[in-house]
Amino acid sequence: MIEDEKELVKGMAQYLRQESYVCEIAYTASEAREKIMLFDYDCILLDISLPDGNGLQILYELKRMGKADGVIIITAKNSLDDRVTGLNLGADDYLSKPFYLPELSARVAAVIRRKRFEGNTKLSFKEITIDLLGKTVLVHGGHVELTRKEYNLLLFLVSNKNRVVSKNAIAEHLSGDDAELLDKFDFIYSHIKNLKKKLTEAGAEDYLKTIYGLGYKFAA
Amino acid sequence: MRLLQLSLRSLLLYALVLVILSIPVSFFSISEILNEETDETLDLQSSQFLSHLGNFTYLDDLETDLEVLDHLSNNIHIYPSKGRHVPRHFETISVFDSAEQEYRPFRQISSSVTIKGKPYILSIRMSLVDNDRLVLAISLVQTLLIVLLVAGLLFINRSLSRKIWKPFYSTINQLKAYELDKNKAIEPEVTHIVEFDDLNKTVSALTDRNRKVFLQQKEFIENASHELQTPLAIFQGKLDLLMQSPTLSEADAGIIMELEAASRRMSRLNKNLLLLSKIDNEQFLEKEEVEVGVVLGELLVNLQPVAQLDHIEITYHAHALNVHCSKPLLEILLTNLIHNAIRHNTAGGKVDVTIEERALCISNSGPPLQMSTEKMFERFSKETANAQSTGLGLAIVKKICDTCHFELTYRYDYGHHFVVRF
C-alpha cells in the first residue's frame, strides 16, 4: 500500500489482513521505490498524490522494470485524465476516494486472482464453486441459475467472506451511481433473498447471515 | 441620443445663430464701407470739379455753361443758391430711374460753393448698390454657407463616429458579450486616443481581476472537494472496520447505519461538487458521436427495477438521434434527469422518456413545484428535506446543457416536463 494518509492506510490494512493478506505500507514515494525494487507483490494499492512524488511515476518505473505486480490506483482526484493515464500505463484497476473497504477488498481479490491463478479460474467456498471465466456457479457440482446481479452479489460477498458488508456497500457495488435512488434497500433485499433461496435450494448451507439492520455476512 | 449627435447638435445650433447674426452685421458693415468709399470718391470728384472749374474762370459765359452742365449731366448738379446756404454734407437719396422704372439709391455730396463771386450749390451723386440686392446676395452667400457647414459637419461626424468611435464600440460589444466563466479576457484594440485607451485599460484590468477571483473561487471549490475525499475515505473505512466488531449490539449497529448514511450523503455531495467544478473547468472536452437511444437504453435497463420498487412505470419512445458531444457528460445529464423524474414522483406514478427529432423529453407525474422554476436549477435548492437528494442534480443538468450548448426547458402541465434540445 503506497499511501501517505496514515489513518486511511491503517484501516485498509486492518480490513485486508482479516482476509489473511500480508500487507506492507509505504508512506512516501521513496519508501515505495525501495520496496518495489526489493520485493514482488501480488497487488499494489497506489495513491497518486504522494508528498514526495506522483504515484503515476512509480507505476511507470514499475512497468519499466518489467514487474508483473498488480496495481490498483487510488486517488482523491477521480479525474478522467488520471484514470486514462493510469490504465494506459498498465494499472489493473482504479478506485476513487471515498470507497467502501469491502469494495477495495473485492477489487484486490479480483486483481490477485487474475495475476496469481492463471488458468485456474475457479473460486470455492465450501460446496459452492464460482467459475469466474464462464460466470457460472456450481453447488455440489450442480449448476445454479443466477441473474447477473445475483452472480455479482455472490462474488462480492465471497470476496469479503467472514466480514460484515453494509447494504450501502452492496448497493453501490451493484448499481454504481444509481445506488443514490435506493433509499429503502428493498432492491438489495430482493437480490439477497433470491440468491439465498437459489443457493439453499441447490443444496448449499445457508451462509448468508443478516447482521441486524446493518448488512450481511457470508460466513461458514 | 449618441454623444456625437449631442455635440453635433450644439455645434450646428451655434453655427446657425452665428450665420443668422452675420447677415445684418455684414449688411451694415458692407453698406457702411461702401458709403465711406463713395463719400471719398464724391469728395474727390467735388474738389476736382471745383479745381478744374478754376481753369475756366476767364470765360464770360461760364454762368450759362454751368446751367447747361446742370441740365446735361445726370450726376453733377450745380445751380445758384438763391441766398440759401448749404453746409457741406453727404446724404443718401432715392432717385427715380426711368429706364428701370424704379427708385434707386444714390449717394450725394452737396455744398455751397462760390464761383466768380456768385454763390452756387454743387451736388454730385453716385449710384449705390441696391439694398435689396445687397441683402439678397448676402443672404444667398450665408445660406450657402449654412448648407455647406451642415453637410460638412454631418459628413465629418459620420466618418468620425465610424473611425474614432470604432474602438469604443468594439470594447462595448466585447463587454456585452463577456461571460465570466467562458471568455478568456477582453482584448481591446490600441486606439492612441487617451480617453479610450484609459477606458480599455480599466475595463481590461477589471475583467482580469474578476476573472482571477472567479478562477480562484472555482479552484477553491475543486481543491476543497479533493481535500475532503481523503477524510471521507478514512471515515468510511473506520465504519467498515467497526462493523466487524464481534461485540456489536443492535443499538450500535443502528448508530453505525446512521453514520454510514451521513457518510454516503457527504461523499455524494462532494462528488457532485467536484463534478460541477470539473464541468466548469472544461475537463470534458473530448467530443464524439453519441447515439442517445443507446445511452438511454442502458440507463433504463438499470433503473427499471429501481423504479418498480415504488411502482413507477417508465415508458420509453425511442427514435434515432445522434449527438456530437462529450459522452460522459451526456450520460450524467440523462442519469440526473431520469433520477430526478423517479425521485420526485408519487408512488404508482409515471415517467415518460421520448426522443424526438432533435430533442429529448422527460416527463413525470408529481405534484407541482412550490419554488420558482429558475430556482429549481440553482445549487442546493431543494423542495423537500429529502436526505437522498443533494440538491445538485438539476444544477449539474443545467451546467451540462450550458457547456454543451443544449437548450433546456421546463414546464408544468399536469406533470413535470423537461425538454433538452440538442
pLDDT value for B115: 81
Q: Which of B227, B253, B284 sits opposite A213 (nearest CB)?
A: B253
Claim to verify: residue A146 and residue A96 sit in the same structural domain: no
**Secondary structure (DSSP) of chain A:** -B-S-HHHHHHHHHHHHTTT-----B-SHHHHHHHHHH---SEEEEESEETTEEHHHHHHHHHHTT---EEEEEESS--HHHHHHHHHTT-SEEEESS--HHHHHHHHHHHHHHHH-SS--EEEETTEEEETTTTEEEETTEEE---HHHHHHHHHHHHTTTSEEEHHHHHHHHHGGGGGG-SS-HHHHHHHHHHHHHHHHTT----EEEETTTEEEE--
Q: Name every chain A residue with its beta carbon within 8 A of the beta carbon of B272.
A: none
Distant-in-sequence, close-in-space partners of A149: CB < 8 Å, separation ≥ 6:
A174, A191
- Decide if A21 is inside a domain: yes
C-alpha radius of gyration, chain B, whole number: 50
Q: Do B244 and A76 make contact, defined as CB atoms within 8 angstroms?
A: no
CATH number of the domain bearing residue A87: 3.40.50.2300
- Average pLDDT on B157-180 reads 82
Please report, for residues B69, B91, B249, the alpha-carbon distance to residue B84 in angstroms, rounded to integers and kept in the order given: 21, 18, 151
- Of A90, A116, A142, which residue is a domain's last? A116
Q: Which of A23-32, A39-48, A145-154, B180-189 is the least confident region?
A: B180-189
Q: Chain B: give the shortest CA distance to residue A65, in Å.
A: 30
- Tell me the C-alpha distance between B167 and B164, whole Å: 7
- Average pLDDT on A197-215 reads 90
pLDDT value for B240: 92
In tens, the pLDDT along B48-73 reads 888 888 888 777 788 888 888 888 88
Q: Chain B: give the shortest CA distance to residue A118, in Å.
A: 31
pLDDT value for A101: 93
Name the residue of chain A whose CA is nearest to B342's CA: A181
pLDDT exceeds 80 at position B226: yes
pLDDT value for A126: 87
According to CATH, what is the number of the domain B288-421? 3.30.565.10
- Decide if A100 is inside a domain: yes
- Average pLDDT on A149-174 reads 90
Q: Which of B238, B243, B283 sits opposite A214 (nearest CB)?
A: B243
Q: Name every chain A residue with its beta carbon within 8 A of the beta carbon of B265.
A: none
pLDDT value for B153: 85
Please, is B331 exposed, middle or buried when counting C-beta atoms within 10 Å of its C-beta (0-12, 13-18, 19+)? middle
User: Are the C-beta atoms of residues A156 and A173 closer than 8 Å to each other?
Assistant: yes
Count other C-beta atoms under 10 Å from residue B73's C-beta.
Answer: 11
- Tell me the C-alpha distance between B64 and B84, whole Å: 20
- Among B222, B225, B229, B230, most A C-beta atoms within 10 A, so best to mutate, is B230
Count other C-beta atoms under 10 Å from residue B72's C-beta.
Answer: 8
| Residue, of B234 and B385, whose pLDDT is higher | B234
pLDDT value for A201: 92
Claim to verify: residue A18 and residue A87 sit in the same structural domain: yes
State the average pLDDT for chain A: 88
pLDDT exceeds 90 at position A32: yes
Claim to verify: residue A178 and residue A100 sit in the same structural domain: no
Claim to verify: residue A99 and residue A160 sit in the same structural domain: no
- Tell me the C-alpha distance between B237 and A95, whole Å: 14
The domain of A202 spans 122-218
pLDDT value for A138: 92
pLDDT value for A44: 95
Claim to verify: residue A149 and residue A86 sit in the same structural domain: no
Q: Strand, coil or helix: what is B319?
A: coil
CATH number of the domain bearing residue A208: 1.10.10.10
CA-wise closest residue to A15 among B262, B243, B259, B248: B243
- Hey, which residues does B76 pair with through a beta bridge? B124
Please report, for residues A3, A29, A95, the alpha-carbon distance to residue A49 in angstroms, rounded to integers and kept in the order given: 8, 9, 14
Q: Strand, coil or helix: what is B329?
A: helix
- Tell me the C-alpha distance between B40 and B386, whole Å: 110
Q: How far apart are the first and last CA of chain B?
A: 41
Claim to verify: residue A209 and residue A133 sit in the same structural domain: yes
Cα dihedral B388, B390, B391, B395, rounded to 10, equals -130
Please, is B218 exposed, middle or buried when counting C-beta atoms within 10 Å of its C-beta (0-12, 13-18, 19+)? middle
Distant-in-sequence, close-in-space partners of B399: CB < 8 Å, separation ≥ 6:
B276, B279, B280
Q: Name every chain B residue with its beta carbon within 8 A of the beta carbon of A175.
A: 302, 306
Q: Angle of helix B194-243 relative to helix A6-17, nearest 10 degrees?
A: 30
Q: Which residue do the cell numbers 470534458 mark?
A: B284
pLDDT value for A194: 92
State the average pLDDT for chain B: 85
CA-wise closest residue to A199 among A143, A157, A115: A143
* H or E, element range at B404: helix B393-404
pLDDT value for A104: 94
Which DSSP category does B330 fall into? Answer: H
pLDDT value for B183: 60
- pLDDT-derived band of residue A208, with 50, 70 and 90 as boundaries? very high
- Of A84, A116, A148, which residue is a domain's last? A116
In tens, the pLDDT along A97-106 reads 889 999 999 9
- Tell me the C-alpha distance between B199 and B193, whole Å: 10
- Tell me the C-alpha distance between B284 and B274, whole Å: 13
What ipTM did this prediction achieve?
Answer: 0.89
pLDDT exceeds 90 at position A8: yes
- Any idea where the domains of chain B sit in the sequence? 28-150, 178-283, 288-421
- Average pLDDT on B161-174 reads 81
Claim to verify: residue A157 and residue A211 sit in the same structural domain: yes
Which DSSP category does B417 fall into? Answer: E
| Residue, of B80 and A157, whose pLDDT is higher | A157
- Average pLDDT on B18-43 reads 87
- Tell me the C-alpha distance between B297 and A62, whole Å: 40
pLDDT value for A78: 66
| Residue, of B323 and B280, whose pLDDT is higher | B323
pLDDT exceeds 80 at position B15: yes
Q: How far apart are the first and last CA of chain A?
A: 29
In tens, the pLDDT along A134-156 reads 889 999 989 999 998 899 999 99
- Decide if A166 is inside a domain: yes
Domain count, chain A: 2
pLDDT value for B269: 87
pLDDT exceeds 80 at position B112: yes
- Average pLDDT on B368-376 reads 81
CA-wise closest residue to A183 among B306, B365, B56: B306
pLDDT exceeds 80 at position B181: no
| Residue, of B179 and A124, whose pLDDT is higher | A124
- Of A89, A116, A143, which residue is a domain's last? A116
Q: Which of A1-15, A125-139, B275-289 is the least confident region?
A: B275-289
- Among B219, B227, B242, B243, most A C-beta atoms within 10 A, so best to mutate, is B243
Claim to verify: residue A199 and residue A183 sit in the same structural domain: yes
Burial B16-45 (b: 16+ CB within 10 A, else e): eeeeeeeeeebbeeebeeeeeebeeebeeb
- Tell me the C-alpha distance between B152 and B137, whole Å: 22
Please give the distance of CA A214 from its chain centroid, rounded to a whole number: 20
Q: Does A96 touch chain B (CB under 8 A)?
A: yes
Q: Strand, coil or helix: what is B103?
A: strand
Claim to verify: residue A18 and residue A80 sit in the same structural domain: yes
Please, is B417 exposed, middle or buried when counting C-beta atoms within 10 Å of its C-beta (0-12, 13-18, 19+)? middle
Interface residue ranges in chain B relative to chain A, Cβ cutoff 8 Å: 226-227, 229-230, 232-241, 243-244, 248, 250, 253-254, 256-257, 260-261, 263-264, 267-268, 271, 274, 278, 283-284, 302-303, 305-306, 309, 328, 335, 339, 342-343, 387-388
Q: Do A213 and B309 make contact, defined as CB atoms within 8 angstroms?
A: no
- Tell me the C-alpha distance between B273 and B289, whole Å: 27
**Secondary structure (DSSP) of B168-220:** HHHHHHHHHH--TTT-----PPP---HHHHHHHHHHHHHHHHHHHHHHHHHHH
C-alpha radius of gyration, chain A, whole number: 18
Name the residue of chain B whose CA is nearest to A183's CA: B388
Q: Does A8 touch chain B (CB under 8 A)?
A: yes
Claim to verify: residue A14 and residue A110 sit in the same structural domain: yes
- Decide if A1 is inside a domain: no
pLDDT value for B171: 84
CA-wise closest residue to B364 among B386, B384, B383, B349: B349
According to CATH, what is the number of the domain B178-283? 1.10.287.130
Q: Beta strand A142-144 with A136-139: parallel, antiparallel or unpaired? A: antiparallel
Q: Name every chain B residue with its beta carbon within 8 A of the beta carbon of A211.
A: 243, 248, 253
pLDDT exceeds 60 at position A184: no
Q: Which of A8, A182, A213 sits opposite B237 (nearest CB)?
A: A8
pLDDT exceeds 60 at position A80: yes
Claim to verify: residue A151 and residue A108 sit in the same structural domain: no
Please, is A119 exposed, middle or buried when counting C-beta atoms within 10 Å of its C-beta (0-12, 13-18, 19+)? exposed
**Secondary structure (DSSP) of B352-372:** EEEE-SSEEEEEE--PPPSS-
pLDDT value for B369: 81
Q: Catalogue the E-assigned strands of B247-397.
A: 288-291, 313-317, 322-325, 350-355, 359-364
pLDDT exceeds 90 at position A117: no
Q: Strand, coil or helix: what is B110?
A: strand
Q: Beta strand B359-364 with B350-355: parallel, antiparallel or unpaired? A: antiparallel
Claim to verify: residue A99 and residue A159 sit in the same structural domain: no
CA-wise closest residue to B312 among B338, B337, B345, B334: B345
Q: Which residue do the cell numbers 439492520 mark?
A: A213
